[in-house]
Amino acid sequence: MRLRLYNTLTRSEEEFLPGPDDSVRMYTCGLTVYARGHVGNFRTFICVDVLRRTLRHLLGYHVRHVMNFTDVDDRTIVGAQQAGMDLRAYTDQYIAMFRQDAQALGLEQVEETPRATDPENIQAMADMIAALGRNGHTYESDGSIYFKISTLPEYGKLAHLDHEGMQAGARVDSDNYAKEDARDFVLWKATKPDEPTWHEVNPPGRPGWHLECSAMALRLLGESPIDIHTGGIDLIFPHHENEIAQSEGATGKPFSRFWMHVEYLLVDEQKMSKSLGNTYTVPDLVAKGVRPSAVRALLMSAHYRKQLNFTWASLAQMEEALTRLTDCLARVDAVVVDGSHTAIAARVEQASKEFAEAILSDLNTAAAFAAMFELVRALNSAVDAGQLGKGDIPGIRAAFDGFDRVLGILSLRRLEDERPPVPVAEIEQLIEARHAARRRRDFAESDRIRDGLAARGIVLEDSATGTRWKIK
């Protein structure tokens, strides 16, 4: 099996081949930790997680994955100053929040999560500036060191910039600047008296945002080219373009073989904006009764190269879909009839093949979801018709376990069910109390118990075999 992946650098789908010994070295631009990450950020991280899981679990490659924290830039410095906090302590709190949210959304833990201000990373940045200087790509002005884009003829190849439109000799000091405003950019910034300062570079100062990722990627992943570099589509220019310039200007070698970018998340057909009040974090959604597994599923439900519209209605629909999925598996597990059926085995094999083909076709999660839910429909029909036996269950379970190793939804759902909003022991006691009330025909008490649990997020379902509960 081979993965075909869209490469932003070539604007085409290409067959991805691993490095020596089936190794994959991958870098993801993580959060700039001046605020808690929102669902737009996590759309990128979840889609990258699907890529990581595909490489590891579907293809069996050995992945070394780095995702950084940018803990020094214009915004983190201003935020720390306004909060009256040390920069490290200020950014620590948002890194901790990211880890909580990543765990809630079922992201696999990556091998390395460096932060820009780690001493070894500051030194790597200083070494890269020195290499760029030796190769004639830098100049100093007003205490800052800049990259001179005119010294790199290939500058702009990722974003496909028009070289004639570049402003030769003009420079930009801000870590964030206008799209298509191609200018010499700052590598090392002169600092004000009240800003964090490092002395590994002369003159003393602090790193520019673009420099940080180049240095951390090559320090932790080794000699270029690395295999895959990922991030949100908004990072193509200037950030990733400048990463390429720095890395290739310093080493003389290509920086990354593949570039994968995830499209924007819209909210009610609009871009997320604090002024519009439509920027949601994971705790914001959980507080409204949304399960993180539904958020994860929704954020990967559309192809990563297509914009996704996030709405409350779409969240509710995804919750219903996941309930159908888990209910189907519960029905399958409850089958007591002996025997197995070749038609079921063939249908499961077909769904597994369609799922793998979809994922290996540039991570087409929409088609992978369709294959999985078509199997759910077929299995429900088979159970209804009495055409599914206990001998079919292991194959069905193996197929869904395979889907989940890539999607990470069912395992997350199970973890949520193990930590329901009401303690399991209390739920079971209340179910028994409700049974007792019904035996003595006290239906008002039975309804009170059921409605009380529903108000706390637990739904009771009665059947001929007993009562089961699930999270609302």
3-state class of 428 per DSSP? helix
pLDDT on residue 179:
59
pLDDT on residue 260:
98
H-helix or E-strand spanning residue 470: strand 466-471
Query: CA–CA separation, 240 vs 236, rounded Å?
Result: 5
pLDDT on residue 457:
79
Residues paired with 259 in a beta bridge: 229
Q: Which amino acid is at 397?
A: R
Assess contact for 171 and 185: CB atoms under 8 A: yes
Question: Helices then strands (H, E): number in the chain?
Answer: 15, 16
Q: Which two tokens stand for residue 278?
A: 């439509």
Q: Give the β-pairing of 138-141 and 171-172.
A: unpaired
pLDDT tens figures, 75-125: 999 999 999 999 999 999 999 999 999 999 999 999 999 999 999 999 999
Assess contact for 307 and 264: CB atoms under 8 A: yes
Q: Which two tokens stand for residue 312?
A: 């409350």
Q: Which two tokens stand for residue 165?
A: 């439109």
Could you tell me which of 228, 202, 13 has the C-alpha nearest to residue 110?
Answer: 228
Q: Which two tokens stand for residue 433?
A: 């109390």
Name the phi and psi angles at 137, rounded to 5. -105, 0
* CA of residue 173 relative to chain centroid, distance: 30
Residue 166's contacts (CB-CB under 8 Å, 6 or more residues apart) are 149, 150, 155, 156, 182, 183
Query: CA–CA separation, 64 vs 20, rounded Å?
Result: 13
How many other C-beta atoms can be found within 10 angstroms of the C-beta atom of residue 141? Answer: 12
3-state class of 458 per DSSP? strand
pLDDT on residue 466:
81
Query: CA–CA separation, 18 vs 63, rounded Å?
Result: 9
Could you tell me which of 207, 233, 229 has the C-alpha nearest to residue 217?
Answer: 229
Assess contact for 363 and 313: CB atoms under 8 A: no
Residues paired with 130 in a beta bridge: none
Assess contact for 74 and 175: CB atoms under 8 A: yes
pLDDT on residue 220:
98
pLDDT on residue 174:
80
Q: Cα–Cα–Cα angle for 247, 251, 253, nearest 5°?
A: 85
H-helix or E-strand spanning residue 16: strand 12-16
* CA of residue 227 relative to chain centroid, distance: 18
Q: Which amino acid is at 97?
A: M
DSSP code for 70: B
Query: CA–CA separation, 446 vs 280, rounded Å?
Result: 38
- Radius of gyration of the chain, Cα coordinates, nearest whole angstrom: 26
Q: Which two tokens stand for residue 237?
A: 């220019």
3-state class of 461 per DSSP? strand
pLDDT on residue 456:
81
Could you tell me which of 300, 272, 264 has the C-alpha nearest to residue 106?
Answer: 300
Judged by phi (left if over 0) then psi (alpha if -120 to 50, else beta), residue 337 lies in beta
pLDDT on residue 165:
66
pLDDT on residue 271:
82
Query: CA–CA separation, 345 vs 98, rounded Å?
Result: 42
Judge if the upstream peptide bond of residue 225 is cis by omega within 30 degrees of 0: yes
Per-residue confidence in pLDDT tens, the chain, 472 aa = 899 999 999 999 999 999 999 999 999 999 999 999 999 999 999 999 999 999 999 999 999 999 999 999 999 999 999 999 999 999 999 999 999 999 999 999 999 999 999 999 999 999 999 999 999 999 999 999 999 999 999 999 999 987 776 776 788 888 776 656 688 999 999 998 999 999 999 999 999 999 999 999 999 999 999 999 999 999 999 999 999 999 999 999 999 999 999 999 999 888 887 667 789 999 999 988 899 999 999 999 999 999 999 999 999 999 999 999 999 999 999 999 999 999 999 999 999 999 999 999 999 999 999 999 999 999 999 999 999 999 999 999 999 999 999 999 999 999 998 887 788 888 888 988 998 888 899 989 989 999 988 888 788 888 877 888 887 7
Assess contact for 87 and 80: CB atoms under 8 A: yes
Assess contact for 66 and 111: CB atoms under 8 A: yes
